């Protein structure tokens, strides 16, 4: 199924924040568009996927801003296909808390329908929320939760 799953942190209006609070410590942990989590099927390809996921953020941003502008659209969290490359298809999903999920699947895998991708993202979101609400996680930290990891491995399992 998926060959790469990534979770990317939010982007905060820092200057606005600083203007109000003058506090660094509270937000220091909030990294701008920082990769909170990235797993690939084959670790040796990780760097490649880092680039893929990183550049896909451009499309995510574009889609989010164009989707929110048009009010008629069903404002889904699922963004659909971000872009296809020769070998891969990159899908995106953004939570209301501006956390971005990116899933990369192989283009060759035609069995995957949009609906299945959607389900995959829902699972990922549920896992993320559970992880976020566990007391040992501080917002903005890298994700190390086992439960979350399990969900991701499930998604990347070849079937």
Partner 1 sequence: MAESLESLFDFVHMEIVSYFLNKPGKNIDNDVIQNLERLGFSVGQRLVERFTKDSPRFKDELEIMKYICKDFWTAVYKKQIDNLRTNHQGIYVLQDNNFQLLTQMSDGKQYTEDAPKFLAFPSGLIRGALFNLGLTCSVSADVLSMPNCKFQIVIPQS
Partner 2 sequence: MLRVDFGQSLVDHSGVLILVQPVGYIGDKRFKAIYDEISTYRRAQVPNTTRTLNLRYSKRVTPQFIEWGNFHFHKRVLGLICVGRCSEISEVGKLERSINEIKNPFSAILLNTRCFVFDCKSSDEAKIRKDVALIRGEDHTEDLQSNLAEFVASLFNVLESKRLSKLSEKIDKITLIQAPVEHEVFGGENDNRTSKRRSIGRSKKYTGDLCMLAGVPQDALSQYLIAGEHLRAASDVLWLAGALEGQCAASVVLNTTEIEKDVKSLILPTECAANSVNLTINGLGNDVDETKFIKPKPLSEEEIVERLSEALRLYNKVKGAAVIETEANLKFTRLLITCKRRVEASIALQNSLSVNVSLTEQEKIQRYSTAAVLYDDMGFRRKAGFFTRVAAMQCVSQHLPHPLWLLSYKFLMSALEGYRIYLDQKDVPKDLPNGWPALQIRLLNELIYTARRLGDPLLAVRHVTFLLHTVHDHLSDEEKKELSVLLENSTKQCAGTGSPKEKDNNKMDTLDMATIPFTRMPLVRSFKVHPLAPHLKPVVKKSLVDSDTAPAGPFIFSSLRRNVKQAKKTKNTTWVCGDLGQVSLDVYNTFPFELKVSKMILCAEGVEFEPFPTCLSLPPKTGPYTVMLLGIPHSVGQLRITGYTVTVFGVESTCKLTKENLENQEDFPVIVDVVPPMPLLQVSTALPKVRCQPPDPDAPQSAPLVTAVTLYAGQSIKGTVTLENIGKLPVESLDITVSSKDGERANELFSFDDKEITSKLPVLPGESTDITVTITGAHHFPQGTESSENLSYDPEATWGLTGAIQFRYSTAACSNNVCRKATMAIDVTVVPSLLCENYQIIELPSDRSHCLLMFDAVNKTSNDMEFSFSVQNGNEPNIEDEVFTDAVMNIQGNDKNRVTINLPRFALPVADNHSEQDNYSDSQRRAEYKKLVFDLVKLHWNLPACRAAGSGYVDNLKLDADMMQALKPDPITFGVKINGEVYDNTASSEIKISLCTIVDVNVEVSNQSDEPHGPLLLTIEPYQDQASGCPVTELDGKVTWTGTLQLDTPKLLPGKSFCHSCSLVFLYAGQFMVSISCTETASEQTGTSHKNTASGVLPGKDRGSDSKMTIPKEENLRNCVKKSWTFSPPIKINVV
Contact set with partner 2 (CB under 8 A): 14-15, 18, 24, 28, 31-35, 47, 50-51, 54-55, 57-59, 61-63, 66, 83-86
Q: Choose the contact partner of 63 out of partner 2, partner 1, none; CB within 5 to 8 A by kind.
A: partner 2
Is residue 18 helix, strand or coil? helix
28 contributes a contact to partner 1 by CB under 8 A: no
CB 81, min distance to partner 2, A? 10
Name 102's bridge partners.
Answer: 6, 92
Q: Measured from the CB atom, is 71 or 110 closer to partner 1?
A: 71
Residue from 135, 151, 133 nearest 7 by CA = 151
Given a contact cutoff of 8 angstroms between Cβ atoms, the answer to whether 2 and 155 are in contact is yes
Binding status of residue 20 toward partner 1 by CB under 8 A: yes
* Cβ within 8 Å of residue 24, ≥6 positions away: 18
What lies within 8 Å, CB to CB, of 158 at 6+ separation is 1, 41
CA 107 to CA 133: how far, in whole Å? Answer: 35
Does position 159 bind partner 1 by CB under 8 A? no
In whole angstroms, the minimum distance from the beta carbon of 100 to partner 1 comes to 12
Assess contact for 3 and 105: CB atoms under 8 A: yes
Work out whether 16 is an interface residue with partner 1 (CB under 8 A).
Answer: yes
Contacts with partner 1 in 50-89 (CB under 8 A)?
64, 67-68, 71, 74-77
Q: In terms of Cα–Cα distance, which of 118, 89, 94, 116 is closest to 104?
A: 89
Quick check: 97 binds partner 1 (CB under 8 A)? yes
Name the site residues for partner 1 (rule: CB under 8 A). 10, 12-13, 15-17, 19-21, 26, 64, 67-68, 71, 74-77, 94-98, 125-126, 129, 132-133, 139
């Amino acid at each position: 199924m998926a060959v790469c799953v990534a979770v990317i942190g939010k982007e905060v209006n820092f200057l606005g924040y600083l203007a109000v609070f003058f506090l660094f410590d509270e937000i220091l942990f909030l990294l701008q568009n920082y990769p909170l989590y990235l797993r690939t099927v084959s670790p040796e390809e990780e760097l490649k996927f880092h680039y893929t996921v990183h550049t896909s953020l451009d499309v995510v941003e574009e889609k989010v801003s164009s989707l929110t502008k048009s009010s008629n659209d069903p404002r889904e969290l699922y963004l659909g296909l971000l872009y296809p490359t020769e070998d891969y298809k990159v899908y995106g999903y953004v939570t209301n808390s501006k956390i971005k999920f990116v899933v990369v699947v192989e283009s060759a895998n035609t069995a995957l329908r949009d609906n299945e991708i959607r389900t995959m993202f829902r699972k990922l979101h549920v896992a993320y929320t559970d992880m976020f609400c566990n007391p040992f996680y501080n917002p903005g930290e890298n994700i190390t939760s086992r439960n979350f990891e399990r969900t991701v491995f499930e998604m990347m399992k070849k079937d």
